[in-house]
A = this chain, B = another copy of it.
């Protein structure tokens, strides 16, 4: 089994990948789009991608890539508790840290901590938390915010553990492949409305009448004009789902089924 993940090793995505797959080939990709293209081009059997964080919200690169590409299905999901940690290439006091490296989302998740403890550090954004760990290996008086795995993976020194502002910090991941699942209590759909007043209401009515519970709705721009949107919904489904899909086909301008899981 070849599983693609958002690298390098030491990212939260890699932690999620190891949680999902005990034994197999872990293939490193640089972007979420590259993972999904890797599935389409048969380089990997499955890919694991972040879909939503409990603080930052939907991962727009994942949602947009799923909107743009067809024949990719959700096979399962997995939730990871996110703990952010401050580390350096050796032991420093917090007031000695001159520069801080991390992914913009990790910086955002520790904003209050940084404001309080690292007020004078220059912030440098890099493409992943593990990339930040790599970046500071040879840089004295610099720190990174990253997954605890990076201490071991890159030989860093832990300066301060669990520095996230909010302890309800979880990321939900999707495992994607080209195969559509037959079974599952959940389903995700992507749709756009005909952009007439009441359109979204009429679509939610179809779910409501058929006792299908919407657990998440996310809007993304249609990228053609302001005011035109594409929706991603997660549903708890029942035996009426095929009938619901037929009703939705008539009501939506566009409908894509990401499958059961």
A residues near B (Cβ < 8 Å) are: 52-58, 60-61, 79, 104, 108, 123-127, 166, 168, 170, 172, 197-198, 200-201, 204-205, 207-208, 211, 213-221, 223-227, 229
Contacts and interface: CB of A to CB of B under 8 A. Distances in A.
B227 A216 contact: yes
B220 A57 contact: yes
Contact of A60 (B56, B125, B168, B220): B56
A223 B111 CA distance: 14
A230 to B, nearest CB: 10
7 contacts: A52-B221, A54-B223, A104-B125, A125-B126, A168-B224, A172-B226, A198-B208
A166 B221 CA distance: 12
Contacts of A123: 127
Nearest to A234: B227
A154 to B, nearest CB: 19
A218 B63 CA distance: 14
B213 A197 contact: yes
Contacts of A172: 226
Contacts of A170: 225-226
A56 B198 CA distance: 25
Given A198-B208, A208-B198, A225 B57 contact: no
A170 B226 CA distance: 7
A57 B200 contact: no
Contacts of A208: 197-198, 201
Given A54-B223, A57-B60, A124-B124, 10 more contacts: A54-B224, A55-B221, A57-B220, A58-B219, A104-B125, A168-B224, A197-B213, A216-B219, A216-B227, A216-B229
A229 B108 CA distance: 19
Contact of A226 (B54, B104, B224, B227): B54
A125 B166 CA distance: 25
Nearest to A204: B201
A20 to B, nearest CB: 17
A124 B123 CA distance: 12
A157 to B, nearest CB: 25
B200 A217 contact: yes
A226 B166 CA distance: 13
A64 B112 CA distance: 14
B125 A221 contact: no
Contacts of A201: 201, 204-205, 207-208, 214
